[in-house]
Structure 1
Amino acid sequence: MTSETAENILLSVRGLSLEVVRSGHRVVKDVSFDIAAGEIFGIVGESGSGKTLATRALISLLPQAIGVAGGAATYKGRDVLAMKGRELRALRGAEIGVVFQEPMTSLNPSMTIGRQLEEGLVLHTKLSPDERRVRIIDMLKRVGIRDPEGALTSYPHEFSGGMRQRIMLASVMLLKPALLIADEPTTALDAVIQRDVMELMVELTRAEGTAVLLISHDLPMVARYTNRIVVMEKGAVVEQGRTEDLLEAPQHPYTKKLLSSLPFRSETRRVDTARVPMVSARNIVVDYAGRKSLLKRGSPKRALHGVSVDIHEGEVVGLVGGSGSGKTTLGRTIAGLVKESGGDIRFQGRSRDEDWRDYRLNCQMVFQDPYSSLDPRMTIQALVEEALRLVLDLDGDARRKRALETLEEVGLGGDYANRYPHELSGGQRQRVAIARAIARRPRFLIADEPVSALDVTVRAQVLELFSNLQKRYGFSCLFISHDLGVVEQVADRVVVMQDGRIIEEGDRDTIFDNPKEAYTRRLLSAIPALDQNEKGGVTLKWRLEN
């Protein structure tokens, strides 16, 4: 903190410690940092590092089981940890606003957007109903809602994830707080929408002079927008400083570990494209039935418009695009989970339908959320064995042996076999999902956003595991992701989708270094090009920017 900013400190945290009330176990230990007025300040770390708990303590939103064990936090010279009742309610929203990670759980599904945006203005201002309406409509326009007046009578479920986050941001900025706490505000969004939301947040906060406390495990995003950052591990601050300095020359081993876990471009592999493709989809059309009303059904919606793609033997094809581009629909159609309205899917040169059983044994899928795709009543070993039930040449003992061998391959040997999904972390559950998929030794794998919900270090571990397994067994893979940094690391070839159509495809290096389509350039401009240096740090260069 410089002498200039020291005179302008908005929030000062000193020695903040939190503990589990019953056991006395410290979950946040001696955390200290300062935020100046108008500054964008970042806190980074993996899940469980304590970054969210530390910031929730500032506005008394801790779980009942967690209590403050020591330290102080002053906002504009006032002790926020001692605030209660009316003083605390006046602080929340009006002085300190919060944008949470998942807007769908923050917005009330039974209330219209207009009523929810008006709540804060009713509580914290003396504006008339007409004045409140004018301010709300103006703010909705500023955050990019196309029909702000119509949005007032709409409900949260009628908007996409990106639009809901814009509405959440609007509700907070309506009160013009001096400090905005943004807790993983873009985690569930694709790269383009993520950048749009962040640019909007920065624009709004700068216009109002609002300071931002940005909490995230997305290091490149934090690096792009913050002035200074704090790195937390296991409840403690391990390093802090100017963002640029810390990324270029990290001092603590944990910071170096985080930076080394970012996705970097892998070596190019040669794939024989002259042979018959392992899987070939030709002119695939998918129509979803229209919404059904009381008297009739609406017109069908076309999700895929004659899409064609080939995946060759041993090849990893990255399928990228924004939310709603049709990439997951294409993956599920190729897997047979969605029925195509037109087109043809061939496996090793033959129609997929000629030997459907053989195709389904050789085509496996890894889903985005392993927790919802794993039966919570079954042990990990049973879940992997279940995938082998239809392999006729394996008896019960052989299935058990294969299941245990596969769990060892994905790093879940020992007593993990007898555990249940809820006893595993997110990364471990994704390893189970991968084990289920490869247990049959399939020829073709579809991975749908397999690492999007994971921390940076866990993501790196899962991607390394995936690459090692792909080299060992040589399966072809359609890798679906909105994270182009991940695709750059794993893919041999890249296919770009927009609005249900393929707009560009080519080898990985050509697409990333010389994209032709404006949409592809926009996708790539939202992620950095990373270069590791000899100090254990990274240099971030934003693509396609002069």
Structure 2
Amino acid sequence: MNPPLIEVDGLCLSVNGVPDHSIVRDVSFRVNAGEIVGIVGESGSGKTMVARSLMGLQPPAITISGGDIRFEGRSVPAMTGKELRALRGARLGMVFQEPMTSLNPSMTIGEQLDEPLKLHAQLDANARRARILDILLRVGIRDVQGALSAFPHQFSGGMRQRIMLASTMLLKPALLIADEPTTALDALVQREVLELMLEMVRGENTALLMISHDLPMVARYCDRIIVMRQGVVVEEGPVDEIISRPREDYTRELLHSMPVRGANRTIDRAVDPVIEVRDLEVEYRQKAGLLAPKTMRKALHGISIGVWPGEIVALVGASGSGKTTLGRCIAGLVPASSGRIAFTGSEVKPDEPIWRDYRQNCQMIFQDPFGSLDPRMKISDIVEEALRHDRQATKSAKQERVRTVLEEVGLGERYLDRYPHELSGGQRQRVAIARAVVGRPKFVIADEAVSALDVTVRAKVLELLADLQRRYGFSCLFISHDLGVVEQLADRVVVMRDGAIVEEGDRDAIFDTPQSDYTRALLSAIPTLTRTETGVSLTWRFAQDGNATAETRA
């Protein structure tokens, strides 16, 4: 047998070398040449720290306090700085979680791709340029010549991730480490990026170590899974064995935290909808260049939808489809160019008496809770701020309502005097939900409210949101690119593409018998999930020929 490409034996990572402050303890695993291995676990499990330590890129305060890492038989911790620099890029490559922060915003794409070739490849300028153009074509960049002189901010998230992959694969490394490579991407782009990555690593016989909390994606593409929790390896084994017959309770908890289809509910549509949108259009003014005249770009094209009392309507589609623009326009945060919005049967117009009532009854949960919570305000003040226009309630009544809603979202009084930075991501999202529902609104817009959360926290937040919706009966427009979450929560689904509605209907009809090819393409990127007595069964929808399912892992 050939020796493993990389061996991790008893790895311990600690803060400033203090054993009592360890964040990774006794981690051991192997990755063979050409093998695809996934490391999964919740946020804080130590996945990223282990991945970074393989390249000697852990933060300065984090030191290796025990164990060893051997790459091609050589100890990585024992390498000098010069040896590590020769190894990184040439033999070890890494695709980071957020490409916008790992690409240099002040350098063109051409300069950033040329840099590793100058350092590690003995090629002249013409040969380097030819290799760069070839790799850009392979990752799906259409205008490769234009891309060389463009900057990272001129590309979408999916395109930036492709460029990061191109930069990493230029030198054909022996091991590629992908740290949450698709977290912020929608289902279609996520699948395209992952399949492109696999095509490239298999073509070069490169080993792939994929770090993710997305178990279905790992189960689809990896040969073997390593499950981590609180800095230790809980379980390891072949993919089929882990998802169908997990040995550990924690692995079963992870698997059972993945969303499954919720029960059908009866919605009374004989009454007026809470929110009705008719022929809504939004245009943005944009400039093509410094001296170019301003032009108008239409973001929404004649959108018409309704949301009835107690109904959860999911808005899905690829990034840039207009989902968030529609949600913000309904909330009054983006002006409409034309069309009308009606609230409980009456048209809503700014500067009219209905506007104040509408804004109090239309609340929004934003995608990034840390960015939407004032860091200078205590949690009690943040939640109470939503009641500032309630002139009938006294100060003490408002404070009591704040305490009640914090209890309802699972936080309690001990969080009243804390600040946002003292809370975890899941706790901050609970605060954002509390702020949205404390005024007992009739309509809530949830914009990617759980996209940044790991599986177990996401499951708890979704359960909380569904419980509050049943308790208070508010209607909800749920904006998401996570179709698994939509399948669990929604009563009805609206599919958007390029600012227009492609298809809409009841949840089961959309997921089981979609009429649009675009909807089928979206749904084929996610699995159907069936819980079994011992684990889960993942079945992938809609094969390319449109007949049976694409593949099954059980």
Q: TM-score, structure 2 length as denominator?
A: 0.96
- Structure 1 contact 285–303 (Cα < 8 Å) conserved: yes
Aligned pair partner of 1:20 in 5, 8, 15: 15
Deviation at 1:23, TM superposition (A): 4.1
1:514 lines up with 2:513 in the alignment: yes
CA 1:293–1:12 in 2, change beyond 3 Å: closer, same or farther? closer
Q: Secondary structure at the match of 1:223?
A: helix
Aligned partners of 1:89 and 1:423: how far apart in 2? 37
Aligned partners of 1:287 and 1:62: how far apart in 2? 45
In the TM superposition, 1:217-236 aligns within 5 A as 217-236=213-232
Superimposed CA distance per residue, residues 186-209 of structure 1 (whole angstroms, 9 cap, x where no aligned partner): 111111100000000000001111
Superimposed CA distance per residue, residues 515-538 of structure 1 (whole angstroms, 9 cap, x where no aligned partner): 010110010011100000001x11
- Structure 2 contact 17–65 (Cα < 8 Å) conserved: no
Aligned pair partner of 2:246 in 250, 261, 265: 250
Q: Partner residue of 2:488?
A: 489
Q: Partner residue of 1:542?
A: 540
Aligned partners of 2:237 and 2:404: how far apart in 1? 46
RMSD between aligned residues: 1.0
Q: What one-letter code is carried by the residue in structure 2 that aligns with 1:300?
A: M
In the TM superposition, 1:437-448 aligns within 5 A as 437-448=436-447
Q: Secondary structure at the match of 2:309?
A: coil
Aligned partners of 2:3 and 2:240: how far apart in 1? 22
Residue identity (%): 62
Aligned pair partner of 2:281 in 273, 279, 285: 285
Aligned pair partner of 2:202 in 196, 200, 206: 206
Deviation at 1:274, TM superposition (A): 1.8
Aligned partners of 1:144 and 1:296: how far apart in 2? 29
Q: What one-letter code is carried by the residue in structure 2 that aligns with 1:533?
A: T
Aligned partners of 2:536 and 2:172: how far apart in 1? 36
Q: Secondary structure at the match of 2:145?
A: helix
Aligned pair partner of 1:156 in 152, 156, 180: 152
Superimposed CA distance per residue, residues 109-129 of structure 1 (whole angstroms, 9 cap, x where no aligned partner): 000000100111000011010
1:9 lines up with 2:8 in the alignment: no
Aligned partners of 1:373 and 1:52: how far apart in 2? 26
Q: Secondary structure at the match of 1:418?
A: coil
Superimposed CA distance per residue, residues 306-341 of structure 1 (whole angstroms, 9 cap, x where no aligned partner): 000000010000000000000110001111100000
Worse-matched range after superposition: 88-97 or 294-303? 294-303
Aligned partners of 1:226 and 1:142: how far apart in 2? 22
Q: What one-letter code is carried by the residue in structure 2 that aligns with 1:276?
A: D
In the TM superposition, 1:51-90 aligns within 5 A as 51-90=47-86
Superposed structure 1 runs of 4+ greater than 6 Å apart: none
Deviation at 1:297, TM superposition (A): 3.2
Q: Secondary structure at the match of 1:516?
A: coil
Deviation at 1:85, TM superposition (A): 2.2
1:477 lines up with 2:476 in the alignment: yes
Q: Partner residue of 2:552?
A: none
1:276 lines up with 2:272 in the alignment: yes
Superimposed CA distance per residue, residues 110-168 of structure 1 (whole angstroms, 9 cap, x where no aligned partner): 00000100111000011010000000000000000010111000000000000000000
Q: What one-letter code is carried by the residue in structure 1 that aligns with 2:357?
A: D
Aligned pair partner of 1:105 in 97, 101, 104: 101
In the TM superposition, 1:351-362 aligns within 5 A as 351-353=347-349, 354=352, 355-362=354-361
Q: Secondary structure at the match of 2:485?
A: helix
Q: What one-letter code is carried by the residue in structure 2 that aligns with 1:377?
A: R
Q: Partner residue of 1:135?
A: 131
- Structure 2 contact 23–46 (Cα < 8 Å) conserved: yes
1:427 lines up with 2:422 in the alignment: no
Superimposed CA distance per residue, residues 459-516 of structure 1 (whole angstroms, 9 cap, x where no aligned partner): 0000000000000001000000010000001100000000000010000000000001
Q: Secondary structure at the match of 2:272?
A: coil
Q: Secondary structure at the match of 1:307?
A: strand
Q: Secondary structure at the match of 1:300?
A: strand
Aligned partners of 2:292 and 2:173: how far apart in 1? 48
Q: What one-letter code is carried by the residue in structure 2 that aligns with 1:369?
A: D
Q: Partner residue of 2:369?
A: 370
Deviation at 1:79, TM superposition (A): 1.1
Worse-matched range after superposition: 72-81 or 131-140? 72-81
Deviation at 1:296, TM superposition (A): 5.4
Q: Partner residue of 2:185?
A: 189
- Structure 1 contact 9–37 (Cα < 8 Å) conserved: yes
Q: Partner residue of 2:324?
A: 328
Q: Partner residue of 1:3?
A: none
Q: Partner residue of 2:387?
A: 388
Q: Secondary structure at the match of 1:204?
A: helix
Deviation at 1:86, TM superposition (A): 1.9
Q: Partner residue of 1:309?
A: 305
Deviation at 1:392, TM superposition (A): 1.3
Deviation at 1:106, TM superposition (A): 0.6
Deviation at 1:294, TM superposition (A): 4.9
Q: Secondary structure at the match of 1:164?
A: helix
CA 1:70–1:294 in 2, change beyond 3 Å: closer, same or farther? closer
Q: Partner residue of 1:458?
A: 457
Deviation at 1:410, TM superposition (A): 0.3
In the TM superposition, 1:168-179 aligns within 5 A as 168-179=164-175
Aligned partners of 1:58 and 1:464: how far apart in 2? 37
CA 1:9–1:497 in 2, change beyond 3 Å: closer, same or farther? same
- Structure 1 contact 59–81 (Cα < 8 Å) conserved: no
Q: Secondary structure at the match of 1:9?
A: coil
1:263 lines up with 2:259 in the alignment: yes
Deviation at 1:12, TM superposition (A): 1.1
Aligned partners of 1:488 and 1:296: how far apart in 2? 45
Aligned partners of 2:187 and 2:280: how far apart in 1? 26
- Structure 1 contact 388–440 (Cα < 8 Å) conserved: yes
CA 1:22–1:415 in 2, change beyond 3 Å: closer, same or farther? farther
Deviation at 1:8, TM superposition (A): 4.5
CA 1:403–1:207 in 2, change beyond 3 Å: closer, same or farther? same
- Structure 2 contact 528–541 (Cα < 8 Å) conserved: yes
Q: What one-letter code is carried by the residue in structure 2 that aligns with 1:137?
A: L
CA 1:176–1:295 in 2, change beyond 3 Å: closer, same or farther? closer
- Structure 1 contact 325–498 (Cα < 8 Å) conserved: yes
- Structure 2 contact 17–64 (Cα < 8 Å) conserved: no
CA 1:294–1:313 in 2, change beyond 3 Å: closer, same or farther? same
Q: Partner residue of 1:34?
A: 30
- Structure 1 contact 289–300 (Cα < 8 Å) conserved: yes
Which blocks of at least 5 consecutive residues in structure 1 are unaligned?
1-5
Aligned partners of 1:443 and 1:267: how far apart in 2? 22
- Structure 2 contact 11–67 (Cα < 8 Å) conserved: yes
Q: What one-letter code is carried by the residue in structure 1 that aligns with 2:166?
A: A
- Structure 1 contact 73–79 (Cα < 8 Å) conserved: yes
Aligned partners of 1:74 and 1:287: how far apart in 2? 56
- Structure 2 contact 93–173 (Cα < 8 Å) conserved: yes
Q: TM-score, structure 1 length as denominator?
A: 0.98
